Amino acid sequence: MSSATELTLALTSDVRELPAVRDRLRGFARGLGWNEHDVADIVLAADEALTNVIRHGYESQPAHEIHLHARRTQDAARGEGLEIVIRDRARQVPLDKICGRDLDDIRPGGLGVHLIRSLMNEAHYSHREGGGMELVMRKFRVGGADCGGRA
């Protein structure tokens, strides 16, 4: 039986949904043959992105919409990859404000974007027409299924 090459999840901004989302994404990436190291990277990056939407975009109010779409991709230069798109209707954050903070400034919070950019090869934020944010992030296999590298 062939594995699914796309995964679409319609979520709400309720943190209680996060464990199930991680399970679904973990199973999806494993089904595409990603190794456990990369699967963990992908799942944590998506979790951090969703957490940011819930906490900062929707200010922890639980009934708002979030859409997650994951798919296998093929890039001419970088080979096979996995793309995750997360869309919301939350408040729009200035794009130049979305950056990882100085890690030498040790304090709680502000690590999510740094983790996303460290765990994935690409992460692009944009404003959606009509309101809300879109994050497109991609991870590419480096050296085959059993030796994925970090960005």
Partner 1 sequence: MSEGNLTIRMETAGGVEVVALSGEVDMRASPALRSELLGVVERRPARTILDLSGTSYIDSSGVGTLVEFKRKIERVGGRVVLTGMQHRVRSVFEITKLDRFFAIAESVEEARRL
Closest contact distance (angstroms) between CB of 43 and partner 1 is 8
The first and second tokens of residue 46, run together, are: 């998506």
**Distance between CA atoms of residues 68 and 7, nearest Å:** 8
> Which of 80, 118, 122, 134 touches partner 1 (CB under 8 A)?
118
CA distance 44 to 128: 24
Q: Which of 2, 76, 108, 143 binds partner 1 (CB under 8 A)?
A: 108
Residue among 34 and 72 whose Cβ is closer to partner 1: 34
Residue selected from 77, 94, 97, 109 as contacting partner 1 according to rule CB under 8 A: 109
| The one among 32, 42, 48, 82 contacting partner 1 by CB under 8 A | 48
Tokens of 44: 């944590």
- Pseudo-torsion of CA 40, 126, 140, 20, nearest 10°? 30
Q: Please say whether the beta carbons of 67 and 86 come within 8 A.
A: yes
What number of chain residues touch partner 1 (CB under 8 A)?
24
In the chain, helix, strand, coil percent, each to 5? 35, 30, 40
- Chain positions contacting partner 1, by CB under 8 A: 15-16, 18-19, 22, 40, 44, 47-48, 51, 54-55, 103-104, 106-109, 111-112, 114-115, 118-119
